[in-house]
């Protein structure tokens, strides 16, 4: 049997976890491999990288899309389970679950629109591309998928977890001295819209005041004005406002016209920073692009 594509895996995956129990990816992969009747060779066939199995990869992508549609969730690290919506879908006994089926759910449409917008910024796929360009386009496509899932997780985490995550990202970017120093600073102030204070450099020569908001709604100008007012009260010159949602045009225009330096980081930007600095993501494969060293073949 040919290894099923990730869309063909969606319905069997939903049926498997429809009982509401928590499952790990490994036990799910084993069960689905048996259901599809995969041979040992098919079950353990590897991607070209030689690091991850083809079937494992496709199960992971199926699970990712189902989570984006709100049919699966991660109640805790390392496990997943069906949601109330997912249980209803299985009870309705659909003939198939695929990308078109998932498009009935608003969360999934938002995810697809985000991905489509990113892809439209890339080179037209109808134009001839070099192998290197094709590789880069594939990389960007995967990164867009991961970014969308990271953003979805950000919106679902608790405010306290979001603040700790913000600290980790800032420290990984080289600010705040050490993780311990940053941990002591964040959340201690709570004064007029300031969630924390962090060192701008390891010597602590300057400080940055932080507001971290895990929100769904768009952050408008009034919220930014409150934050700027709090900065003025602290005689602070620099502020960082981070949210899991986005900022209104009025908010962005406001910070561009004031003397106080305020940087706005929305959910999409935060997700990209997390990927860049390995926060909440892990590397599963590394590829090296090489070219012929023409100098090596020169004979004197």
pLDDT in tens, 7-35: 999 999 999 999 999 999 899 999 999 99
Does the pLDDT at position 39 exceed 90? Answer: yes
Over residues 205-213, mean pLDDT: 85
| pLDDT value of residue 122 | 53
3-class secondary structure, 124: coil
- Residue count of the chain, please give it: 300
User: Which residues in the chain belong to E strands, given as ranges?
Assistant: 72-76, 79-82, 196-199, 207-213, 238-243, 261-265
The reply to whether 10 and 88 lie within a common domain is yes
3-class secondary structure, 286: coil
Closest CA to 70 of 33, 120, 105: 105
Question: Considering the domain boundaries, does residue 296 fall inside one?
Answer: no
Angle between the N-to-C axes of helices 131-156 and 267-276, in degrees from 0 to 180, rounded to the nearest 10: 120
Over residues 101-125, mean pLDDT: 74
Tokens of 112: 């697809």
What residues have CB less than 8 Å from 221, skipping those under 6 apart?
A: 248, 250, 251, 253, 254
3-class secondary structure, 94: coil
Pairing assessment for the beta strands 238-243 and 261-265 based on DSSP bridges: parallel
Does the pLDDT at position 129 exceed 70? Answer: no
Question: Considering the domain boundaries, does residue 174 fall inside one?
Answer: yes
For the chain, the average pLDDT equals 85
CATH number, position 242: 3.40.1350.10
Q: 141 falls in which pLDDT band (50, 70, 90)?
A: confident
Q: 140 falls in which pLDDT band (50, 70, 90)?
A: confident
The reply to whether 117 and 15 lie within a common domain is yes
| pLDDT value of residue 3 | 92
The reply to whether 207 and 253 lie within a common domain is yes
Question: Considering the domain boundaries, does residue 40 fall inside one?
Answer: yes
At 72-109, the pLDDT tens digits run 998 887 889 999 999 999 999 999 999 999 999 998 88
The reply to whether 261 and 163 lie within a common domain is yes
The reply to whether 111 and 180 lie within a common domain is no
Question: Considering the domain boundaries, does residue 291 fall inside one?
Answer: no
Contact 169, 281 (CB under 8 A): no
Which has the minimum average pLDDT: 122-126, 206-210, 293-297? Answer: 122-126
Question: Considering the domain boundaries, does residue 97 fall inside one?
Answer: yes
Question: Considering the domain boundaries, does residue 31 fall inside one?
Answer: yes
pTM for the whole structure = 0.66
Count of Cβ atoms closer than 10 Å to residue 125 Cβ: 9
The reply to whether 267 and 198 lie within a common domain is yes
The larger pLDDT score, comparing residue 145 to residue 66, is at: 66
- Please, where are the H alpha helices in 97-130? 99-102, 106-120
Over residues 113-117, mean pLDDT: 71
Domain boundary among 72, 98, 121: 121
Q: Tally the domains of the chain.
A: 2
CATH number, position 52: 1.10.10
Tokens of 240: 């960082």
Burial class (CB in 10 A: 0-12, 13-18, 19+), 171: buried
Question: Considering the domain boundaries, does residue 90 fall inside one?
Answer: yes
| pLDDT value of residue 226 | 92
Tokens of 288: 């090296």
Task: Return the percentage of the chain with pLDDT > 70, whole number.
Answer: 85
The reply to whether 112 and 166 lie within a common domain is no
| pLDDT value of residue 205 | 74
Does the pLDDT at position 287 exceed 70? Answer: yes
The reply to whether 93 and 164 lie within a common domain is no
| pLDDT value of residue 119 | 59
Question: Considering the domain boundaries, does residue 286 fall inside one?
Answer: no
What is the residue range of 106's domain? 6-121
Over residues 281-291, mean pLDDT: 82
Tokens of 69: 């549609």
């Amino acid at each position: 049997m040919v290894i099923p594509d990730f869309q063909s895996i969606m319905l069997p995956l939903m049926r498997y976890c429809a009982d509401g129990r928590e499952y790990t990816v490994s036990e799910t992969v084993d069960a689905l491999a048996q259901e599809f009747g995969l041979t040992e060779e098919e079950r353990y066939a590897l991607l070209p990288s030689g690091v991850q199995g083809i079937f494992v990869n496709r199960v992971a992508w199926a699970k990712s899309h189902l989570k984006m549609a709100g049919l699966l969730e991660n109640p805790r690290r390392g496990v997943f389970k069906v949601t109330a919506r997912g249980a209803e879908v299985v009870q309705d006994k659909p003939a198939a679950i695929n990308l078109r089926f998932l498009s009935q759910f608003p969360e999934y449409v938002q995810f697809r629109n985000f991905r489509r917008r990113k892809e439209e910024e890339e080179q037209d796929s109808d134009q001839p591309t070099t192998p290197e360009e094709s590789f880069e386009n594939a990389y960007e496509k995967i990164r867009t998928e991961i970014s969308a899932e990271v953003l979805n997780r950000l919106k679902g985490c608790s405010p306290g977890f979001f603040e700790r995550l913000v600290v980790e990202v800032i420290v990984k970017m080289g600010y705040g001295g050490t993780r311990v120093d940053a941990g002591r600073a964040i959340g201690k102030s709570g004064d007029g819209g300031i969630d924390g204070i962090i060192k701008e450099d390891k010597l602590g020569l300057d400080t940055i005041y932080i507001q971290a908001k895990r929100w769904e709604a768009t952050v408008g100008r009034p919220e930014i004005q409150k934050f700027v007012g709090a900065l003025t009260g602290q005689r602070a010159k620099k502020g960082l406002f981070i949210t899991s949602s986005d900022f209104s045009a009025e908010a962005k225009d406001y910070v561009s016209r004031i003397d106080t330096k305020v940087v706005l980081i929305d959910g999409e930007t935060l997700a990209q920073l997390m990927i860049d600095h390995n926060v909440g993501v892990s590397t599963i494969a590394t590829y090296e692009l090489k070219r012929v060293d023409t100098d090596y073949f020169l004979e004197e």
